[in-house]
Structure 1
Amino acid sequence: MNMTTTQSLRAQTCPDSVCLKTASRTFSIEQWEDMTKRASAWLLNQGEIGSTVAVNGQNRWETLLLFWAAARSGFVFMPLDPRMTEAERSERLQLAKPALYMNEDDLNELEHQLDQTAPSSYSHPAQNALFYSGFTSGSSGKPKQFARNQSSWLKSFEAGLADFPFSGTETAVIAGPIHHSLFLYGAAFALYTGQPILLTEKFLPDRLSVLLNETEPFVFYAVPTMLEAMQAVNGKGIVFLSGAGWSAERKKQWSSAHDQIRLFEFYGASELSFVSYMNPEDVQIRPSSSGKPSTGVTVEIRSGGAACAPFEIGTVYVNSPMLFSGYMEEGRCRIDLAEDGFYTVGDAGYVDEEGYLYIVGREQFMMISGGVNIYPEEVERIVIQCPDVEAAAVTSIPDDRLGERLVCLYTGKADQKTVRRFVKARLSVEKTPRRFIQTDALPLTSNGKVARAELKRIAEEWSQ
């Protein structure tokens, strides 16, 4: 089954129901189906089935339509961050070599093009065909292109329906950038299940708070910084939270302050989809964890090829029908599966005696100071709890005595002595950075992650 089939069936049974609303447009299911057929036909006129269409991934209905039409017609949809520099965009286009690239001007002309295109009823039948591609960044910020097939997302839809308590009346509010997998997934899940979508052009906290309060019940996809910025949400609904950096204390505080909103958090990755999730009860009793494995997922912690005991830190391995197809290398997908079908993105973690998963950090970023293994993420989680600290990133520089000496860069109004005292009271001496550097901004990759190599370079410069 093509992932767009359910939407086509609803166009026959409830054609007048709302499918998508933006600030300026509203589409019924019947209208969206007609536009999907026209966009599918238009894509088929532009290139061959299996070709990649790259799109300036702005939050607009045209972007979402091209994604849905690409899935229908057998193309590979590749959204690009509109905030990229020309050099970053060129690098990704050179790597992916798409048959078609749609920039902002092209999106502005799309509706006119579709008005002149006869609709096509073609639906690509192969679930194992690639349909979505994007980029992840390592510590150097160098982009790595990944790809997924429809089967992996269809399985994630099934897991979502099994694990999360939908009533069937929710409206999906998509306010984060849809070039990001989390928010594109939220929109795709809504189209698949028939949830009406409210798509906002930008994340404007005050305006979005009003929108959520007026939309009951809602399903809202968020990262921690979004929830921190929204202070007046009192509506009723579900929040799906993803992304590291929110402390256990803040999760509990936010949940207690919003008793009409059920907070679900999930751990995953572009390569893995859902791995584990926490329900509202878990947020209260195991707030530091990443929950228990999602439906259909098996998680194992391994070290040196052997399974770890509870509370023993090792590499997180995942066996799941939701895995990606691989990284693109010379036009082909390559995935390094273990012999037993398990896969890892290199996260380090452990499970407790009840099977709750805890993510410690990314193995490749691990530092050794004074003979102690230290993950920057575990230190960063403490630093950002300090009042008046907005964001933090930890790295290390060479040290003749310790091997590596920890350095923390942070943003916010807190002075260095205050931050040092706060962290020292909560972490061992070995894990407390020897130097704190207050800065206006942290070095980030185009995906919004800490650029670890640049961070280390900055720390070394400050320490000379």
Structure 2
Amino acid sequence: MNMTSTQSLRAQTCPESICVHTKNEVFTCSRWEDITKRAAAWLLLQGQPGDIVALTAQNRWETLALFCGAVRAGFTFMPLDPRMTHAERAERLQLAKPALFIGEDDLSQIGGLIQKTAPSSYCHPDSEAIFYSGFTSGSSGTPKQFARNQFSWLKSFEAGLADFPLTGQETAVIAGPIHHSLFLYGMAFALFSGQPIVLMDKFLPQSVIEALNTTESFVFYAVPTMLEAIDQQGGLASAGLVFLSGAGWTAERKQQWMNSYPKAPLYEFYGASELSFVSYMTPNDYKKRPASSGKPSTGVKIDIRSNGKSLPAHQIGTVFVKSPMLFSGYVKQGLCQLDLGEDEFYTVGDAGYLDEEGYLYIVGREQFMIITGGVNVYPEEIERILVKCPGVELAAITSIPDPWLGERIVCFYKGKASTTALRAFAKQALSVQKMPRRWIQVNELPLTSSGKIARKEVQKKAKEALQ
């Protein structure tokens, strides 16, 4: 099955229904099917199935058309962040060696060429074909190219329909950058399930609020920073589902959102580019286990291990996952390599534990772990506590080398709280080993495009300020 098959079916059964709505364009199902066929035909004129098409991915219909065209034609779609520097983009292109690269200034012209290309009925039949590739940062900071086949996302669509109350009648409002897998996934799922898409060119809180409040029933894909901005701008009045992922939001803030916007409840998933869905949360789970990451998604098994052995409930270890939604592997010398054990479990190095009811708790990422005085400390664990301090908006924990401790913990934070007040608050909640030794108040903290703390930049700031 090709991921665009259901889209083709709707073009026949409900051709005049709205499929994609952008700032300047409205595509019915029949028109979108036509533009997808033209995009596939244009790509086939440039190369052949299996080739990589890389592009600077702006939130425009042309980007989405190229994605659908690539899926249909059997190409691998590789979206790149428009905010990358020339050097960052060049490094990734050198690693991936795409057959075709479409720059930011080329997208409009390519859209015109697609519309002039005769449509092709070719539809790549192999669901095991690689359709999507991107980059994650390895522990060394060097980009690692990953790849996914269509089957893995088709299985994640099944899990999404099983775990979340989605009917296909909602309107998917996409305001986050579609080079990010969360928002690209949101659009792909909408096209698969029949949800009309409202594609916004950028995240502007007031514009997003207006779009959501004028939509009868929505599904909104978000990271915590987006929800904070919406809340500060007055919030929502309409009904829908908020699909939350990305950087961790405190249990208190999630509950505050649920109390403030009962018609727009949170549904959340924990996952990774390599794993897709791992566990999920519903409003009932927030009531039962608000600090957890939920229970395993449909089709997923979770095992907590240390030194190759499974651990009992409440013991922290490495999170291993067995799932039909795993990626195809990291790309090395043009080949996908996936280091699966004999039991087919895989880990991205997150640390966590399961409780007696099977709820998963993520403590932190092993690659960010700090070893200070012989004790393993996870930055995320400290950050979740510090942001509860009145007057603290955001906290980032990092470390610098220390001749006695090995690593010395440093805290950067944004907010009105004084360092004295924050230190006193931390003393009440943190063990001595986890206490930051230095506190630095800043106006802004470096974040990634998905709203997560840019940890390598934070560590660089610490070394510049303190060494």
* TM bracket (short chain): over 0.9
Q: Distance in 1 between matches of 2:359 and 2:314?
A: 10
Aligned to 1:397: 400
1:154 equivalent in structure 2:
154
Shift of residue 92, structure 1, vs aligned partner: 0.9
Name the counterpart of 2:284. Answer: 281
Q: Does the C-alpha gap of structure 1 residues 431 and 401 become closer, same or farther in structure 2, counting only changes over 3 Å?
A: same
Tell me what 1:345 maps to. 348
Amino acid at match of 2:215: T
In the alignment, the residues of structure 2 paired with residue 451 and residue 166 of structure 1 have an alpha-carbon distance, to the nearest angstrom, of: 33
CA contact (8 A) 1:148 1:325 kept: yes
1:222 aligned residue: 222
The whole-number CA distance in structure 2 between the counterparts of 1:262 and 1:454 is 34
- Kindly state the Cα deviation for residue 276 of structure 1 after the two structures are TM-superposed: 0.2
Using a 3 Å threshold, how does the CA distance of structure 1 residues 157 and 45 change in structure 2: closer, same or farther? same
Contact 2:168–2:190 (Cα < 8 Å) also in 1: no
2:382 to 374, 379, 383: 379
**Partner in structure 2 of residue 41 of structure 1:** 41
Offset, 1:446: 6.8
**Residue pairs, 1:80-159, within 5 angstroms:** 80-159=80-159
Distance 2:286 2:413 in 1: 27
Measured at CA, do residues 139 and 437 of structure 1 come closer, stay the same or move farther in structure 2, by a change above 3 Å? farther
Question: Alignment partner for residue 266 of structure 1, among 258, 269, 278?
Answer: 269
Match of 1:320 among 318, 323, 335: 323
CA deviation vs aligned residue, 1:412-458 (integer Å, no higher than 9, x gap): 33332222222222222221211111234434567765444443343
CA contact (8 A) 1:171 1:218 kept: yes
For 2:105, give the aligned amino acid: D
List gaps (5 residues or longer) in structure 1.
Answer: none
Deviates most, 417-426 or 245-254: 417-426
Q: Secondary structure at the match of 1:95?
A: helix
Which stretch shows the higher mean deviation, 297-306 or 413-422? 413-422
Q: Which amino acid aligns with 1:235?
A: S
Q: Distance in 2 between matches of 1:111 and 1:132?
A: 20
Q: Hey, what does 2:67 align to over in structure 1? A: 67
**Percent identity of equivalent pairs:** 67
- Structure 2 counterparts to residues 125-204 of structure 1, below 5 A: 125-204=125-204
Deviation digits for residues 342-395 of structure 1 (CA, Å, limit 9, x no counterpart): 000000000000000000001122223233321011111122233333332212
Deviations, residues 203-240 of structure 1 (Å, cap 9, x unaligned): 01112112111112100000011111102212101111
User: 1:96 & 1:151 partners in 2: Cα distance?
Assistant: 22
Contact map agreement 2:244 2:267 (CA 8 A) in 1: yes
Contact 2:130–2:148 (8 Å) recurs in 1? yes
| Cα contact 1:137–1:447 (8 A) shared by 2 | no
* Mapped contact 1:140–1:453 kept (Cα < 8 A): no
Report 1:242-253 matches (<5 A).
242-253=245-256
Q: Summarize the Cα distance change of 1:312–1:117 in structure 2 as closer, same or farther, 3 Å threshold.
A: same
Q: Deviations over 1:308-347 (max 9, x none)?
A: 0000000000000000001111111111111210000000
- Partners in 2 of 1:289 and 1:84 — Cα distance? 34
SS where residue 274 of structure 1 aligns?
strand
Q: Helix, strand or coil for the counterpart of 1:260?
A: coil
User: Contact (CA 8 Å) 1:137, 1:445: kept in 2 or not?
Assistant: no
Whether 1:336 and 2:336 are equivalent positions in the alignment is: no
For 2:438, the equivalent position in structure 1 comes to 435
Match of 2:458 in 1: 455
State which of 341, 353, 358 in structure 2 corresponds to 1:355.
Answer: 358
**Aligned alpha-carbon RMSD (Å):** 1.6
TM superposition score normalised by structure 1:
0.97
> For residues 222 and 104 of structure 2, what CA distance do their matches in structure 1 show?
25
Give, in whole Å, the separation in 1 of the partners of 2:286 and 2:220: 17
Query: Contact 1:54–1:102 (CA<8 Å) still a contact in 2?
Result: yes
Residues matched between the structures, number = 464
Contact 1:140 1:454 in 2 (8 A): no
For 1:258 and 1:450, the matched residues in 2 are separated by 26
**What SS does structure 1 have at the residue aligned with 2:50?**
coil
Distance 2:449 2:269 in 1: 23
CA contact (8 A) 1:84 1:446 kept: no
Aligned match for 2:244, one of 238, 241, 248: 241
Counterparts in 2 of 1:449 and 1:200: CA distance versus 1, 3 Å = same
Task: State the partner residue of 1:410.
Answer: 413
Which residue pairs with 2:299 in the alignment?
296
Q: Say if 1:127 and 1:151, in contact at 8 Å, map to a contact too.
A: yes
Letter paired with 2:267: F
Tell whether the 8 Å contact from 1:277 to 1:291 is kept in structure 2 after alignment: yes
CA contact (8 A) 1:141 1:451 kept: no
Q: What SS does the corresponding residue of 2:265 show, helix, strand or coil?
A: strand
- In 1, are the aligned partners of 2:131 and 2:150 still within 8 Å (CA)? yes
Aligned-partner SS, 1:265: strand
Q: Distance in 1 between matches of 2:10 and 2:117?
A: 23
Partner secondary structure for residue 408 of structure 1: strand
Contact 2:246–2:451 (8 Å) recurs in 1: no
TM-score, L = length of structure 2: 0.96
Aligned equivalent of 1:52: 52
Distance 1:137 1:439 in 2: 25
Contact 1:4 1:192 in 2 (8 A): yes
Classify the secondary structure of the residue corresponding to 1:89: helix
Looking at structure 2, the residues matched to 2 and 190 of structure 1 have their Cα atoms a distance apart, in angstroms, of 15
Q: Secondary structure at the match of 1:172?
A: strand
Q: Tell me, yes or no, if the aligned pair for 1:139 and 1:450 is still in contact at 8 Å.
A: no
